[in-house]
């Protein structure tokens, strides 16, 4: 079975500073990994996905994530935070068949002016 | 945005009553999913469907049933609602089992 741990439930940054949201996963196979974002009272939007191609994955809105197999990590980064980035972010792993997603508990990102 | 709608968007119901939530898609995707979202738990899979009349259980399926009689519609039924089923319910679709999932806007259900 697969699992995901998001290491911080809340992260606070100032506008214009870098963002780092940490995610570790556990899987017995080569996983597919995703980051989703949820703005308040909205559905989830796919930010980016890793499916065993390039280990550095670029997503929408300037976000990127790096797959590190040796560290079983898939951390999400952005060089410069914007106020509109304030939201909840979910790290997600799929099962081997791809049918079932397992979500981390979420990280709430706050951006201070 | 992927063509996914959920109805109703909000519902308040009493303990013991049956409730049906509807997910409708216009993308002709094969896979459809129902999740619930609770604070601290992320989203948890309730049931999913991999085709018309083909469904399977997820992580938290007890107390829920589903039906899919058409490609575009996936219904979630709470046979006898309980307060522990108060949650936000999300529907998702994917083209096939290996593709990313796209989520609907959610239904906020309160069971009193």
A97 touches chain B (CB under 8 A): yes
**If DSSP codes are grouped into helix, strand and coil, which group holds residue B25?**
strand
Which residues of chain A fall below pLDDT 70? none
| Residues on chain A touching B107 (C-beta within 8 angstroms) | none
Mean pLDDT of chain A: 92
Q: What is the pLDDT of residues A20-33, one digit of tens each?
A: 999 999 987 878 89
Mapped onto helix, strand or coil, the DSSP state of residue A85 is helix
Tally Cβ neighbours within 10 Å of residue A52. 11
Rounded to whole angstroms, how far apart are CA atoms B42 and A38? 11
User: Residue B96 and residue A98: Cβ atoms within 8 Å?
Assistant: yes
The predicted pLDDT at position B2 comes to: 65
Nearest 5°: CA angle at B74, between B72 and B78?
160
- Rounded to the nearest angstrom, the minimum Cα separation between B44 and chain A is 7
Token pair for A74: 């898939």
Phi, psi of A95 (to 5 degrees): -75, 175
Mutation target to probe the B interface, by most B beta carbons within 10 A, among A47, A89, A98 is A98
Note whether A38 and A44 are within 8 A (CB): yes
Tell me the percentage of chain A whose pLDDT exceeds 90.
74
Contact B74/B66 with Cβ under 8 angstroms?
A: yes
pLDDT means per 10 residues, chain B with 112 residues, are: 88 97 96 92 91 93 96 97 96 83 94 96
Identity of the residue in B40, B50, B101 whose CB atom sits nearest the CB atom of A101: B101
For residue A17, what pLDDT is reported? 98
Would you call A29 an interface residue with chain B, using a CB distance cutoff of 8 Å?
Answer: no
Q: By C-alpha distance, which of B89, B86, B112 is closest to B15? A: B112
Could you give the CA distance from residue B97 to residue A19 in angstroms, rounded to a whole number? 31
């Amino acid at each position: 079975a697969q699992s995901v741990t998001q290491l911080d439930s809340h992260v606070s940054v100032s506008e214009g500073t870098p963002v780092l949201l940490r995610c570790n996963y556990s899987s017995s196979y080569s996983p597919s990994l995703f980051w989703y974002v949820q703005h308040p009272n909205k559905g989830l939007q796919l930010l980016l996905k890793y499916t065993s191609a390039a280990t550095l994955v670029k997503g929408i809105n300037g976000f990127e994530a790096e797959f590190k197999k040796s560290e079983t990590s898939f951390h999400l980064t952005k060089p410069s935070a914007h106020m509109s980035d304030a939201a909840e972010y979910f790290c997600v792993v799929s099962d081997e068949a791809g049918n079932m997603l397992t979500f981390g508990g979420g990280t709430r990102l706050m951006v201070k002016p | 945005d992927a063509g996914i709608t959920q109805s109703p968007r909000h519902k308040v119901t009493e303990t013991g009553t049956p409730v049906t939530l509807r997910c409708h898609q216009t993308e002709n995707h094969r896979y459809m999913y129902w999740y619930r979202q609770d604070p601290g738990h992320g989203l948890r899979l309730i049931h999913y469907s991999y085709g018309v009349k083909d469904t399977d259980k997820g992580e938290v399926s007890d107390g829920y049933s589903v039906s899919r009689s058409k490609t575009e519609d996936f219904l979630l039924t709470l046979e006898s609602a309980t307060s522990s089923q108060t949650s936000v319910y999300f529907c998702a679709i994917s083209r096939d089992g290996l593709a990313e999932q796209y989520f609907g806007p959610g239904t906020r259900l309160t069971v009193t």
